[in-house]
Amino acid sequence: MISGIDEAGKGPVLGPMCVAGILLDGTRTDELLRMGVKDSKQLTGKKREVLAKEIKKVAEDYFILEVSPSRIDEQRKTMTMNEIMVACFTKVLEELRPDHAFVDAADVNANRFGKNIREKYSGEILITSEHKADVKYPIVSAASILAKEQRDSLIKQQEEELGMKIGSGYPSDPKTINFLENWVKDNDSLPSFARYSWETSKRILEKYDRNQKRLFQY
């Protein structure tokens, strides 16, 4: 049995990170290709939504780990982001227990990323860790779709609860920055679903809330 693992939401200042994995018989990867699976970034939101449902039906098993902003902030007090990614990928693999895992490396050194996961994993496993694995391997493409669809769903749910748009959550998104700046101006604090440890959060707090004591120091 093989697995593909990928994440969505490593870099955003708003919202959770989702790490998804699927378990599949290695002889059935052609089924993923036939349904049109590819890197989630190359698909429309509607297509990802349709494919996510099909992937869940085809997979022997799947698991999506949701890591909240507060959890990320807490872990960053004692861990690097690369170490957090290793721990999250390992957690997904522990749930699926494949013989061979293909992972989209979340470290500039792909071999190191795979080695670190293998060292933390509780059993025997073969790991193929590569950059752009979500483009090269359908099994990882499928995982990227599940991760992206889950995160998008959670962001949409957050927008519905607030009754306002927050954008993609990434620091490069003007809608996200506009939302954050307006929120801090109106509330004298960041929203609960922001990552306090991100430089973007610190900068906006300093810009609009200079007198408030900082709760998080990194």
70, with CB counted inside 10 A (0-12, 13-18, 19+), is middle
- Class (C level, CATH) for 162-208: mainly alpha
Q: What topology does CATH give the domain 2-159?
A: Nucleotidyltransferase; domain 5 (3.30.420)
pLDDT tier at 189, thresholds 50, 70, 90: very high
At 209, the pLDDT band (50, 70, 90 cuts) reads low
Query: If pLDDT is split at 50, 70 and 90, which confidence band does 210 have?
Result: low
Predicted confidence at residue 39, as pLDDT, reads 79
Instruction: Say whether pLDDT at 218 is over 60.
Output: no
The token pair that represents 125 in the structure block: 């496993």
Eight-class DSSP state of 95: H
Dump pLDDT digits (tens) for 90-106: 999 999 999 999 999 99
pLDDT at 216 over 60: no
Q: What is the pLDDT of residue 38?
A: 84
Instruction: Say if residue 211's pLDDT is above 70.
Output: no
| Secondary structure E strands in the chain | 2-8, 17-24, 61-67, 100-104, 126-130
- What 158-165 contacts at long range (C-beta under 8 Å, 24+ apart), as own/partner pairs, is 158/15, 158/193
For residues 49-62, give the mean pLDDT.
Answer: 96
Domains 2-159 and 162-208 fall in the same CATH topology:
no
| Amino acid letter, residue 178 | N
Q: pLDDT value at position 44? A: 86
Q: Where are the domains of the chain?
A: 2-159, 162-208
How far apart are alpha carbons 158 and 154 in whole angstroms?
A: 6
